[in-house]
Amino acid sequence: QVRPVESGGGSVQHGGSLRLSCAVSGYTINRWCLGWFRQAPGKEREGVATIDRYGNPAYADSVKGRFTISRDNAKSTLYLEMNSLNPGDTAMYYCAVEDDPPRPCSWYLVDGKLEVWGQGTLVTVSS
């Protein structure tokens, strides 16, 4: 059973940086659509970024220019480099994955309907 495991969350000050990782051990992820999503307290879950099998990224407008999604297929790991963090980025961050999904990977940024989800890692940004 696929079990994505997120790590790298923590507490940082406004303007700080964090790097999240999502490991999918034991699986070859070359064809997979991979994504990061977040949910802040009292808010709906929202897409942050996705990356398709070719390495093409898609970002939410709120994180463009600050966050970078990347993947290392050899390590079966997804990353999210987050810079210039602000309190509005405080949320639980989840990684979601799907093997060769039927729709373009970037479409899942909007509806988040990827098959398998991790447990999340908490990011807290203080002012």
What digits encode the pLDDT tens for the residues 65-83? Answer: 999 999 999 999 999 999 9
Please say whether the beta carbons of 24 and 1 come within 8 A.
no
| Banded pLDDT at 4 (limits 50, 70, 90) | very high
How high is the pLDDT of residue 122? 98
- H helices of 1-127, in order, are 108-111
How high is the pLDDT of residue 82? 98
What residues have CB less than 8 Å from 43, skipping those under 6 apart?
A: 91
- Of 51, 47, 71, the closest CA to residue 60 belongs to 47
What digits encode the pLDDT tens for the residues 11-64? Answer: 999 999 999 999 999 899 999 999 999 999 999 999 999 999 999 999 999 999
How high is the pLDDT of residue 104? 97
